[in-house]
């Protein structure tokens, strides 16, 4: 049986090529996803844990939640005490914080949240073991810094150059004293690291004479566990000692989170691609078995049992899957290497690819079992045909129409799934998304089962248009498309699945983008918003004081003060300038008046007032974590979006906030200039802030891009991943048309003999492909919009103001891409059909 199956595979290798290619693409996707994810995880772990082997014990002061999570630090006396303990070779006090390095163009270098600063802590030999200098040396004066080599290369800086660096305390220019390399304990991926002298770093990041943590290096032969036992008794209260090995483990767990998430996303899309491939495989074996009906019947007639014939056909699918899986495993590993090259951070050395036995086993199992599962139903149907009936047929048996059982089951699934989706969308309970997910699976399955039934009315709808454009070719294409509804449905279903996901993502993305745009920019009436750069922690009055000197400037800080309980409700107060805030933010007041701020009262967002049960005129008892008490009066209630990070939940006059909090967190400064926004005004504001790369100046477009621009980037990534499913669906169209041409060889020869030229045959096949593509694209787009609406409804309960937005441009583009893919898929089958030999075809039995 195995020899027979092997012979049959090579006898029909051209027909099985598309199937093998589809399996190979699916296995390539899943192998590449797993290998890339494992490699990314190992590289991230290696970088995150690099350098901890030199740290025996790390001593750190606990953070204070009441002080915004900041640490009081450790003094120099503690460093000296720890350095004198038995088994301690060296003790280095460390202090770090946010430090943005400006490039030649004044913009920050590297990822903002990963822009770090630290102190150079030389030992007795003048070297710091944490840093290896490649050029120059560590900073020795207050006006000197050192940069990591990646940042220096990005900025084009050399030793001796002047570099502008911004921190939470402001910006200043420094002389570059050296360029260094360091390990993962100091430099985050994609970020920058600036070294200052110890005194400068303490002044910028903490306070003079104090350190955030102390790194202890053990003397040779020292047991780390015993060393911790010596360290803990001498530590001041509120201090924790952790071994370097434990820190490495914690960092490794944190580092793998992002890579695991990316790997899961990739595997999810790989599963979609494989699911789409099942339709191609099943369709191919359906057509192959139909073409070989007489051959299989002859095998039955000479003594082969049903089980033996079934095993031969399953062995064929197993061979195809095994060959395609080996190829997919090799190509997938190469794809993972390409992804690693394209997307690896510039400062991360290339890590070796990780091909685990688990990845190889999963890929081979999926690639070999999938064709067998997909081929089972066509083989089972073929075995139901009696040998005598198959041998007596001059032509292969007519394809089965969509059966009533299949139609009934499909209709039941579609109706049940649709009802579940609508129920989940309208009830919007906590389990609504689960209900919608299950309903979507049922509805999509039912729609796939009903596509054969839908194909006839769909083609009938477009047939008049086709016949008007091409009377002969259009009519032939329409009739050929519905000749086998089951085959048509299976081919279009693969395309429908991909378009369902793409359309649903488009609807959700467009709706979310519009909501975020409205939520963040509707209330913004100022010209500019000045905020700390990504990763920056706080702005001080001294940082933004120069803005007051701008001609005709109107400004108000957003001073956020935490730790309040108003009438027993946890609250955050945002202090503003009562005289200026009305020009800088649009308050849609529903009760009371914003003039209450000038009277020392507060204004409350509607969602906060509704949640707490407050009303205008109510006096609320105030209590802060530090023990201060008082009362405040609600003077106004205004509409606000709970998701907006610009409109405060509680607006208070800055004098009220200052009464209870001497150092509130300035989240930003709203600014209006006398000439309005513009390039010159922006340059003036930036210059007034001291060209500080630690501060970001945003206009309306900048705010919009910051809050909603990332959605488009994420959608583009998902579309790129879905392109694999679209490619496999296009292969299904090509395979279906190619097999159809083979089955209709005599018919095509007859048409040619009657006068249909090669161009006409090519046009007919292309029109069939367009009909298949249009059917799949239409069903997929309708399903995607429906599911996008349903999922969006579940957000409306928690996201006030979310509305359905239909991105007509993206939806139309998806349909056009599907039609273009179908047209490209028809090129090879159309070429084969046009080259059919007329005498040989017309005399074929």
DSSP secondary structure string, 27-94?
A: HHHHHHHHHHHHHHHHHHHHHHHTTGGG-SEEEEEPEEGGGTTEE--EEHHHHHHHHTSTTEEEEEEE
Per-residue burial over 461-481, b = 16 or more CB atoms within 10 Å of its CB, e = otherwise: ebbeebbeeeeebbbbbbebb
Which stretches of 416-568 are assigned E, i.e. beta strand?
Answer: 528-532, 554-566
Say what the pLDDT of residue 820 is: 92
User: How far are the Cα atoms of 58, 83, 93, 214 from residue 226, in angstroms, in the given order?
Assistant: 14, 15, 21, 18
Cβ–Cβ contacts within 10 Å for residue 179, how many?
21
Pick from 258, 252, 277: nearest CA to 30: 277
The DSSP output letter for 114 is G
Token duo for residue 180: 């260094």
Enclosing H/E stretch for 614? none
What pLDDT is stored for residue 581 in this prediction?
A: 93
pLDDT tens across 13-42, in order?
666 676 777 788 778 878 888 888 788 777
In this prediction, residue 801 carries a pLDDT of: 65
Tell me the C-alpha distance between 658 and 485, whole Å. 75
Handedness of CA 506, 811, 795, 640 (dihedral sign): positive
Q: Which residues of 813-828 are buried (b: 16+ CB within 10 A; e: fewer)?
A: ebbebbbebbbebbeb
164 has which bridge partners? 173
How much is the pTM? 0.71
Q: What is the pLDDT of residue 160?
A: 94
- Distance of alpha carbon 442 from alpha carbon 418, whole angstroms: 8
Smallest CA-to-CA distance from 349 within 175, 557, 187 is with: 187
Taking the C-alpha atoms of residue 661 and residue 563, their distance in angstroms, rounded to an integer, is 10
Reading across the β-sheet that carries 57-61, which strands appear in turn? Answer: 88-94, 213-218, 57-61, 239-243
Looking at the chain, how many residues does it have? 845
CA-CA-CA-CA torsion sign (640, 641, 644, 649): positive
Dihedral over Cα of 148, 150, 151, 155: its sign: positive
Q: Cα separation of 27 and 16, whole Å?
A: 16
Classify 401 as helix, strand or coil. Answer: coil
**CB-count exposure of residue 4 (10 Å: 0-12, 13-18, 19+):** middle
The owner of tokens 């900041």 is 70
pLDDT at 720: 73
Helix (H) or strand (E) run with residue 721 in it: helix 700-743
User: Burial level of 223, CB count in 10 A (0-12/13-18/19+)?
Assistant: exposed
Residue pLDDT, tens place only, 765-784 = 999 999 999 999 999 999 99
CA distance 55 to 243: 8
Report d(CA 255, CA 345) in Å as an integer.
14
Residue 346: helix, strand or coil by DSSP?
Answer: coil
| 8 Å CB contact between 287 and 739 | yes
Distance linking the first and last C-alpha atoms of the chain: 28
Cβ(565)–Cβ(693) under 8 Å? no
Nearest of 787, 804, 803 to residue 424 by alpha carbon = 787
Burial label for 74, CB within 10 Å (0-12, 13-18, 19+), is: buried
pLDDT at position 715, please? 75
Return the H-helix or E-strand segment holding 177.
strand 170-182
Residue 344 main-chain phi, psi, to 5 deg: -70, 140
Pairing mode of beta strands 650-653, 569-576: parallel
* 539 strand-pairing partners: 666
Sign of the alpha-carbon torsion through 157, 160, 162, 163: positive
pLDDT at position 398:
42
Instruction: Give the model's pLDDT for residue 3.
Output: 65
User: Helix, strand or coil for residue 715?
Assistant: helix
Pair 26, 273: CB distance under 8 Å: yes
Residue 345: its pLDDT value, please? 53
Q: How far is CA 241 from CA 55, 224, 331, in A?
A: 12, 11, 48
DSSP 784-802: HHHHHHHHHHHHHTTSTT-
Interacting residues of 398 by C-beta distance below 8 A, sequence separation 6+: none
Helix (H) or strand (E) holding 613: none
SS3 content of the chain, % helix, strand, coil (to 5): 60, 20, 25
DSSP secondary structure of 14-26: HHHHHHHHHHHHH
Tokens 């004098």 locate to 655
Pairing of β 619-624 and β 554-566: antiparallel
CB 751 within 8 A of CB 761: yes
CA distance 677 to 663: 30
C-alpha 841/C-alpha 745 separation (Å) is 6
Q: Report how far residue 726's alpha carbon sits from residue 502's, in angstroms, rounded to the nearest whole number.
A: 10
Q: Sign of torsion, CA 103 108 111 113? A: positive
Give the residues of the chain that fall short of pLDDT 70: 1-16, 18, 48, 63-72, 111-113, 184-186, 188-190, 255-262, 287-288, 290-296, 342-351, 382, 384-404, 428-430, 535-538, 707-710, 713, 717, 721, 796-801, 840-845
Strand 213-218, strand 57-61: pairing: antiparallel
CB 461 within 8 A of CB 771: no
Distance CA 288, CA 301 (A): 20
Say if residues 745 and 550 touch (Cβ distance below 8 Å). Answer: no
If we measure between CA atoms, which residue out of 625, 609, 627 comes closest to residue 617? 609
Pairing of strands 695-698, 554-566: unpaired
Distance from C-alpha of 212 to C-alpha of 239, rounded to nearest angstrom: 10
């Amino acid at each position: 049986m195995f020899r027979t199956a092997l012979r049959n595979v090579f006898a029909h290798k051209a027909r099985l090529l598309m199937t093998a290619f589809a399996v190979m693409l699916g296995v390539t996707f899943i192998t590449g996803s797993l290998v890339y994810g494992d490699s990314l995880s190992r590289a991230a772990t290696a970088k995150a844990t690099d350098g901890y082997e030199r740290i025996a014990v790390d001593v750190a002061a606990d953070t204070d939640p009441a002080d915004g999570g900041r640490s009081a630090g450790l003094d120099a006396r503690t460093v000296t005490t720890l350095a004198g303990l038995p088994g301690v070779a060296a003790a280095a006090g460390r202090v770090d914080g946010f430090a943005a390095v400006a490039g030649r163009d004044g913009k920050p270098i590297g990822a903002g949240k990963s822009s770090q600063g630290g102190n150079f802590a030389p030992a007795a030999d003048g070297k710091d073991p944490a840093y290896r200098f490649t050029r120059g040396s560590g900073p020795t004066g207050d006006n000197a810094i050192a940069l990591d080599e990646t940042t220096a290369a990005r900025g084009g800086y050399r030793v001796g150059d002047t570099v502008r660096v911004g921190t939470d305390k402001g910006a200043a220019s420094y002389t570059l004293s050296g360029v260094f390399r360091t390990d993962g304990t100091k430099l985050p991926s994609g970020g920058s690291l600036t070294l200052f002298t110890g005194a400068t770093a303490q002044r910028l990041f903490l306070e003079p004479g104090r350190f955030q943590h102390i790194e202890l290096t053990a003397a040779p032969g020292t047991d780390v566990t015993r060393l911790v036992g010596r360290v803990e008794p001498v530590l001041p209260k509120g201090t924790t000692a952790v071994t370097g090995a434990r820190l490495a483990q914690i960092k490794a767990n944190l580092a793998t989170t992002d890579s695991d998430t990316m790997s899961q996303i990739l595997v999810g899309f790989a599963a979609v691609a494989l699911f789409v491939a099942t339709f191609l495989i099943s369709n191919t074996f359906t057509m192959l078995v139909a073409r070989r009906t007489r051959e299989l019947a002859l095998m039955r007639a000479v003594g082969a049992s049903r089980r033996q014939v079934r095993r031969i056909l399953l062995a064929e699918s197993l061979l195809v899957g095994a060959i395609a899986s080996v190829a997919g495993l090799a190509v997938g590993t190469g794809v993972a290497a390409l992804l690693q090259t394209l997307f690896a951070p510039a400062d991360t050395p290339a890590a070796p690819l990780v091909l685990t036995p688990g990845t190889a086993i999963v890929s081979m199992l999926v690639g070999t079992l999938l064709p067998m599962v997909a081929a089972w139903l066509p083989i089972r149907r073929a075995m139901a045909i009696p040998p005598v009936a198959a041998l007596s047929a001059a032509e292969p048996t007519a394809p089965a129409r969509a059966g009533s059982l299949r139609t009934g089951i499909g209709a039941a699934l579609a109706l049940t799934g649709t009802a579940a989706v609508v129920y989940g969308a309208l009830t919007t309970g906590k389990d609504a998304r689960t209900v919608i997910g299950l309903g979507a699976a049922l509805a999509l399955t039912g729609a796939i089962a009903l596509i054969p039934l839908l194909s006839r009315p769909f083609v009938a709808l477009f047939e008049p248009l086709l016949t008007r454009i091409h009377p002969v070719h259009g009519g032939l294409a329409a009739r050929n498309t519905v000749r086998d509804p089951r085959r048509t449905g299976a081919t279009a279903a693969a395309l429908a699945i991909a378009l369902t996901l793409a359309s649903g993502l488009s609807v959700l993305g467009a709706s979310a983008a519009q909501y975020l745009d409205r939520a963040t920019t509707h209330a913004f009436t100022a010209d500019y918003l000045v905020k700390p750069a990504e990763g920056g922690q706080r702005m001080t009055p001294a940082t933004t004081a120069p803005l007051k000197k701008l001609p005709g400037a109107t400004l108000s800080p957003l001073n956020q003060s935490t730790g309040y309980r108003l009438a027993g409700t946890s609250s955050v107060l945002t202090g503003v300038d009562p005289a200026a805030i009305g020009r800088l933010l649009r308050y849609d007041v529903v009760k009371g008046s914003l003039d209450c701020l000038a009277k020392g009262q507060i204004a409350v967002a509607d969602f906060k007032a509704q949640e707490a049960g407050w009303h205008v005129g109510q006096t609320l008892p105030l209590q802060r974590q530090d023990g201060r008490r008082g009362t405040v009066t609600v003077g106004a209630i205004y509409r606000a979006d709970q998701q907006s990070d610009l409109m405060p939940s509680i607006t208070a006059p800055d004098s009220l906030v200052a009464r209870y909090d001497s150092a509130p967190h300035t989240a930003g400064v709203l600014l209006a200039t006398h000439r309005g926004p513009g390039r010159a005004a922006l340059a003036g504001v930036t210059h007034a802030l001291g060209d500080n790369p630690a501060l970001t100046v945003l206009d309306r477009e900048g705010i919009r891009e910051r809050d909603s621009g990332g959605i488009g980037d994420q959608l583009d990534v998902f579309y790129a991943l879905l392109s694999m499913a679209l490619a496999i669906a296009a292969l299904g169209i090509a395979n279906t048309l190619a097999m159809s041409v083979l089955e209709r060889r005599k018919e095509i020869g007859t048409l040619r003999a009657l006068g249909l030229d090669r161009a006409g045959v090519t046009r007919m096949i292309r029109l069939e492909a367009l009909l298949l593509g249009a059917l799949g694209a239409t069903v997929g787009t309708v399903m995607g919009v429906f599911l996008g609406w349903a999922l969006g409804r579940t957000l409306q309960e928690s996201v006030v103001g979310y509305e359905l937005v239909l991105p007509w441009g993206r939806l139309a583009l998806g349909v056009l891409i599907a039609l273009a893919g179908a047209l490209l898929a028809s090129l090879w089958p159309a070429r084969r059909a046009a080259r059919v030999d007329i005498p040989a075809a017309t005399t074929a039995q």
